[in-house]
């Protein structure tokens, strides 16, 4: 920490409260002691103090692949948000148990789409449209939606494979019903040059989502009206301000950002893609990054010879990811060491059966096609 680069925007980004060194030492010791039984997975938005203990770090897609691959450890400790831990429980072996440091670490974007509401809209659309519709859910969704999609011939997608999953769906149906993130769905459709008039938004609390029957019949993509409040805070003016100050800057943004931000970015992709793109760039490169601040801070640490700025003046933090802390990880490990399992994430068997179909479908479709670009 402490290089001048990160304050270029005028405001010092937040810093996590550092954990007591004794806590970190205890985690290290217990992690070693339990190493035959546990694997720790960590998402890029977690704090440095926490993610240093992850055996594998990644974006949502990589972490779901790893949960499917690592079949030998009894406990998967997931330092990420709930939907990620649920996906791990769905995709891992029956004898494995998934544990999360804080069960309250949810994703507000996922909460935008609840099963009864999605089913209601699905039935309304199907009462008008007599052609095949493929439902796709962003992995940032509750397990019962992944199950719904599995039952109805659809797939899960992540920000790293949405493009490929859209191709797969468009080969099989006339329309895609996408939830919960209107921006990931819309940005993916726009990158495929689907005409704006064939992309409709199903607005909350409006008759037919605020659309006419004709608009629904003509639509190729029907988007749920949800968004990530962290990424929504990045604005077109942020892109313009940085471009003015640094004419050579490259803007890279997560596809949960709004349409204007993505349209005016040089690149867009998952957290894994953002890291890769910056890693591949030469020293002296200047980057404006539209994603969560923990990752931006980490990139600044990793690449001191590159200038890396958040698109936002304040740095946008995902508060729910930050609910997971080293202290809570230690609590889990101490309990495991005493033979007690706490904070286990369990998806019920009926939901799991069909959710597994849609998650495995995604993994199979996207084999060989990770980290695709939106632009």
158 binds, among ligand 13P, ligand SF4, none (CB under 5 to 8 A by kind): ligand 13P
Touching ligand SF4, residues 204-243 (CB under 6 A): 228, 230
d(CA 352, CA 194): 33
Rg of the chain, C-alpha, whole Å: 21
Q: How far is the CB of 80 from ligand SF4 (least distance, A)?
A: 8
Q: How far is the CB of 181 from ligand 13P (least distance, A)?
A: 9
**Taking every pair of C-alpha atoms in the chain, what is the biggest distance, in angstroms?**
64
Burial of 338 (0-12, 13-18, 19+ CB in 10 A): exposed
Instruction: For residue 238, state whether it binds ligand 13P (rule: CB under 6 A).
Output: no
| Of positions 184, 321, 351, 370, contacts ligand SF4 by CB under 6 A | 321
Residue 247 is classified by DSSP as T
Tokens 């985690």 belong to residue: 27
Touching ligand SF4, residues 48-87 (CB under 6 A): 81
d(CA 120, CA 117): 5
DSSP run (H or E) holding 241:
helix 236-245
Instruction: For residue 46, state whether it binds ligand 13P (rule: CB under 6 A).
Output: no
Q: Using CB under 6 A, which of the segments 56-64, 281-289, 307-315, 335-343 binds ligand 13P?
A: 56-64
- The smaller minimum CB distance to ligand SF4, of residues 222 and 318, is found at 318
Instruction: For residue 140, state whether it binds ligand 13P (rule: CB under 6 A).
Output: yes
Task: Tell me the three state secondary structure of residue 238.
Answer: helix
Instruction: For residue 108, state whether it binds ligand SF4 (rule: CB under 6 A).
Output: yes
| Of positions 49, 66, 86, 256, contacts ligand 13P by CB under 6 A | 256
d(CA 199, CA 212): 13
Task: Tell me the three state secondary structure of residue 10.
Answer: coil
Does residue 180 have a cis peptide bond before it, meaning omega lies within 30 degrees of 0?
yes
Touching ligand 13P, residues 63-102 (CB under 6 A): none
By CB under 6 A, name the binding residues for ligand SF4.
Answer: 81, 107-109, 140, 228, 230, 256, 292, 318, 320-321
By CB under 6 A, name the binding residues for ligand 13P.
Answer: 44, 59-61, 140, 158-159, 228, 254, 256, 270-271
């Amino acid at each position: 920490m402490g290089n001048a680069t990160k304050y270029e925007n005028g405001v010092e980004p937040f810093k996590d409260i550092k954990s007591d060194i004794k806590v970190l030492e205890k985690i290290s010791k217990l992690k070693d002691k339990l190493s035959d039984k546990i694997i720790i997975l960590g998402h890029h938005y977690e704090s440095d103090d926490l993610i240093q203990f992850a055996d594998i770090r990644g974006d949502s897609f990589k972490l779901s692949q790893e949960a499917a691959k690592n079949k030998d450890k009894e406990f998967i400790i997931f330092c990420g948000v709930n939907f990620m831990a649920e996906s791990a429980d769905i995709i891992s072996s029956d004898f494995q148990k998934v544990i999360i440091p804080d069960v309250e670490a949810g994703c507000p974007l996922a909460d935008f789409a609840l099963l009864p509401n999605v089913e209601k809209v699905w039935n309304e659309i199907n009462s008008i449209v007599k052609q095949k519709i493929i439902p796709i859910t962003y992995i940032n969704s509750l397990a019962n939606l992944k199950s719904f999609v599995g039952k109805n011939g659809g797939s899960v997608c992540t920000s790293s494979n949405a493009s490929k999953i859209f191709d797969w769906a468009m080969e099989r149906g006339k329309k895609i019903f996408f939830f919960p993130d209107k921006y990931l769905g819309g940005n993916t459709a726009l990158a495929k040059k689907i005409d704006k008039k064939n992309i409709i938004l199903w607005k909350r609390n409006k008759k037919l989502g605020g659309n006419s029957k004709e608009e629904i019949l003509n639509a190729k993509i029907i988007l749920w009206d949800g968004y990530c409040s962290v990424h929504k805070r990045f604005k077109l003016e942020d892109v313009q301000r940085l471009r003015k100050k640094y004419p050579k800057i490259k803007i890279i943004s997560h596809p949960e950002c709004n349409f204007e931000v993505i349209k005016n970015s040089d690149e867009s992709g998952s957290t894994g893609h953002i890291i890769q793109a910056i890693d591949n760039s030469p020293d002296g490169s200047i980057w404006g990054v539209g994603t969560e601040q923990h990752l931006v801070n980490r990139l600044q640490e990793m690449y001191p010879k590159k200038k890396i700025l958040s698109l936002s003046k304040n740095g946008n933090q995902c508060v729910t990811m930050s609910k997971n802390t080293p202290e809570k990880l230690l609590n889990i490990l101490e309990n495991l060491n005493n033979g007690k399992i706490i904070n286990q994430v369990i998806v019920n068997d009926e939901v799991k059966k069909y959710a597994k179909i849609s998650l495995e479908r995604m993994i199979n479709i996207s084999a060989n096609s990770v980290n695709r670009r939106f632009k």
